[in-house]
Amino acid sequence: MQTTDITEDMIFECFAAACQHSDSDRTAESFVDVEEYENQIMYPEFARWAEKAGHHDLATLFRRVAGEEKLHAVWLRKLYADMGVPSRGEDTQRAIDALKTIQANCDALIGLNPDGVVEKALSVAVRVEEREALSIYPKFRDQALAEGNHAAAEVYQKVVDSEAMHAEWFKAALASFQRNSQAAAPA
């Protein structure tokens, strides 16, 4: 099979962004939809790539973050007890399709250049976590505050702090990954 390179942007496309709606119940639904997608599909896929590339420590990190994305959804679901299965967001569906598109190629590439794919996955994880911590979820918190929904605002703030921590974990993992690959490179 012919393999084409996988760019960082192609991997970035596999992430979904939660969408703010004027109706805050729909904002909450989009939040849960995206967090559960990260928990069930995206980060487990990154963990699978890392495992396949022989980086068990990174696979563990991706699984740990996946578990926390699940928690984020659980925290908010407690305030929206009757949410049920959130409707699939347009952006989440787009991300699922993007992932399917690169998946077979990605598997082949990991066989050829395992570290390249894993390094890009880490860079994308930093970008995604920063986007959530600095841009998307602060807006959700402010929407809840403006409506006087302090319980929801508190959850979103807790999520902002947690996503900021995920960004730091991935940055540290990327830096150490790059140091190790430089050390291993032939002089």
Positions touching Fe ion (CB under 5 A) are 35, 69, 72, 129, 163, 166
Q: How far is CA 35 from CA 72, 105, 171, in A?
A: 7, 26, 20
Closer of 74 and 145 to Fe ion (Cβ): 74
Shortest CB 99 distance to Fe ion, Å? 17
Residue with tokens 């578990």: 67
Closer of 18 and 109 to Fe ion (Cβ): 18
Q: How far is CA 86 from CA 62, 77, 101, in A?
A: 24, 10, 24
Shortest CB 125 distance to Fe ion, Å? 8
Shortest CB 71 distance to Fe ion, Å? 8
Angle between the N-to-C axes of helices 90-112 and 43-52, in degrees from 0 to 180, rounded to the nearest 10: 0
Shortest CB 49 distance to Fe ion, Å? 17
Closer of 32 and 110 to Fe ion (Cβ): 32
Closer of 119 and 129 to Fe ion (Cβ): 129
Closer of 29 and 129 to Fe ion (Cβ): 129
Shortest CB 159 distance to Fe ion, Å? 6
Residue 23: CB atoms within 10 Å: 9
